[in-house]
Structure 1
Amino acid sequence: MPTRKKLPQYERRVVAFIDILGFKNFLGKGGDASFNTIYNALAELQDRFAKPMQGWSTGAKKALNINTQALQVSDCLIISRLAEEKGGVQSMLFDCAYAIHTLIRHGFLCRGAIKVGEMYHNGNMLFGEAYVRAYLAEESERLPIIKFDSELFDLARQYPAPSNEGFGSWEENFVRQNCKQLMTDTYYLDYFTDYDDRFGPGEGEASVHYHALRQIIVNGLALGKNASPYEKFRWAADQFNLSANRFQLPPI
């Protein structure tokens, strides 16, 4: 009898499900300008996430428990990593922040959720309860944020990067720096203040970037109070105003 091929199994993974807001309405505009904006935004995300493990040797991936997978389909980006990856939480939050700020530069906000649990993800094939929970959490969220549960901080402490071995509490505090509490045990990436820390060379560069964010919010509010997205843009405006002076920008 032929030998039956051994099937893979579920893994405990951290998965982020990210949705680009306003994507469908933007598609409806048609024309070259709309196409170019969408294409350039998605192409930049593809360049970043198409080969997420490129540059790592087999030995390094095994030693650090690295098995990052990413898939971009239409207006959705899905990223997952092994929960036991050393420094994996720090890397996941950086990846999500990168997606947020890339989309801001192209004129979009996004919304997403990060969950931990059983999942299979290899290339274009993914399934599992962690993915379903991330998808449903994103779908039910009204605010333009990427949110996650406090257990992510526990993972950061438990599996710090090799350079922080033995200092898990330091790594936990480090990843907390650019996160804000939404409610009990629920946090989100505070993209209104983190650009200097994660990407910008200084506040001058950050001011340019946050000017683009300001314009997205202003355009959203211009739709009027009766428009369905108004609430999320009003919330974003309030958050923006908390740090507008830091970047020498007028409040909304």
Structure 2
Amino acid sequence: MNQEYEDRYCLFLDILGFQSHVDETIKGGNKNKSAMTFTKLKGALDQISVDVHYRDAVEISGKLRSTSRRVTQFSDSVIVSYLRNEPHGTGVTSILMDVHNLQLALLQRGILLRGAITAGQLYHDEKLVFGPALNEAVALERLANYPRVILDGEILDEAGLKRSPSPSLSRTINSMVAEDFDGLFYIDYFNIHPDDFNEDWVDVQYYLEKLRAVVKGLSNKKDPSIKVKHSWLRTKFNLMAKPFQKSGYKTLGICTVPEDDVALFQEIKPF
């Protein structure tokens, strides 16, 4: 292992409301089916571990090659990093995929994530992680404000990703990233694609149902900071759900829902 800083992409990820989730596991959450329990919370943390410790290889020119991925997980936080000079931009595409997959998996467990992706000097091995890139990621995560994982537009540019991608019937890395109202780029978990679920529309419906339930569950919270997050979530959900409903649930984004599956989505209504 290199004994000096390396130029790496760095993801700092945090579970939103983790303290409240922990408190809920102690305060008789079992009486409420929607409440967080010890089993649910541990399952979510286990899910994170599984999703960031997958097989450490990518396909390049038809051959599987190990990546430079490093992972540190502690309590409600996760740090993932890749070398910035991975061939063919696989470092940044891999880290975007890591975030996207985690968001989809954790949201179905009622867990929202916030974080940031930066690039810079970082030391990251099996035991230690520190450096300017992590400091910047932690600071940027606090600026994310909403349940989103943000990244600098320069990271997209140097990876050859387009800021305004053309619509595509197949899932692309470009289509996973969106520009928000404040000019920050984030990994978009509202703009889902059937490819995210192996083209299983039942799983797509289940995800959207869980997403709607999470948004609705925050609607009666009195905490001002939660109200702000709920407003953002509601706006994003409606931007997806309104045209979906208007199409008679026949078109999700630019994808056509199979005729036999249209009836699955009748409850995916905007707020």
When normalised by structure 2's length, the TM-score is 0.76
CA contact (8 A) 1:14 1:81 kept: yes
* Cα distance in 2 between the residues matched to 1:227 and 1:112: 20
CA contact (8 A) 1:179 1:190 kept: yes
Corresponding position: 1:251 with 2:270: yes
Identity between Structure 1 and Structure 2 (%):
28
Q: 1:239 corresponds to which residue? A: 236
Measured on the aligned residues, the alpha-carbon RMSD in Å equals 2.5
Superposed, 1:96-107 pairs within 5 Å as 96-107=99-110
SS of corresponding position for 1:60: strand
Displacement of 1:22 in angstroms is 1.5
Name the structure where helix makes up a greater proportion of residues: 1
Unmatched 5+ stretches in structure 2:
31-36, 167-171, 245-251, 253-264
Q: 1:28 corresponds to which residue? A: 23
CA contact (8 A) 1:153 1:175 kept: no
The 1:106/1:184 distance shift into structure 2, 3 A limit, reads: closer
Q: 2:118 corresponds to which residue? A: 115
* Cα distance in 2 between the residues matched to 1:145 and 1:237: 13
Q: 1:136 corresponds to which residue? A: 139
* Deviations 1:169-193, CA, capped at 9 Å, x for gaps: 8xx9742222111267631011001
CA contact (8 A) 1:149 1:185 kept: no
Q: 1:42 corresponds to which residue? A: 45
Amino acid at match of 1:233: H
* Cα distance in 2 between the residues matched to 1:52 and 1:22: 30
Relative contact order, CA 8 A, sep 6+: which one is greater? 1
Unmatched 5+ stretches in structure 1:
1-5, 158-167
Q: 1:73 corresponds to which residue? A: 74
The 1:203/1:27 distance shift into structure 2, 3 A limit, reads: same
Superposed, 1:1-252 pairs within 5 Å as 8-29=3-24, 30=26, 31=28, 33=30, 34-50=37-53, 53=56, 60-61=65-66, 66-86=67-87, 87-157=90-160, 174-182=172-180, 186-224=184-222, 226-244=223-241, 245=244, 246=252, 248=266, 249-252=268-271
The 1:32/1:123 distance shift into structure 2, 3 A limit, reads: farther
Aligned length: 228
When normalised by structure 1's length, the TM-score is 0.81
* Cα distance in 1 between the residues matched to 2:139 and 2:220: 29
**Greater CA deviation, 177-186 or 232-241?**
177-186
Amino acid at match of 2:65: A
SS of corresponding position for 1:118: strand
**Greater CA deviation, 125-134 or 47-56?**
47-56
* Cα distance in 1 between the residues matched to 2:65 and 2:213: 43
* Deviations 1:223-251, CA, capped at 9 Å, x for gaps: 14x54311111110110011112355111
CA contact (8 A) 1:181 1:187 kept: yes
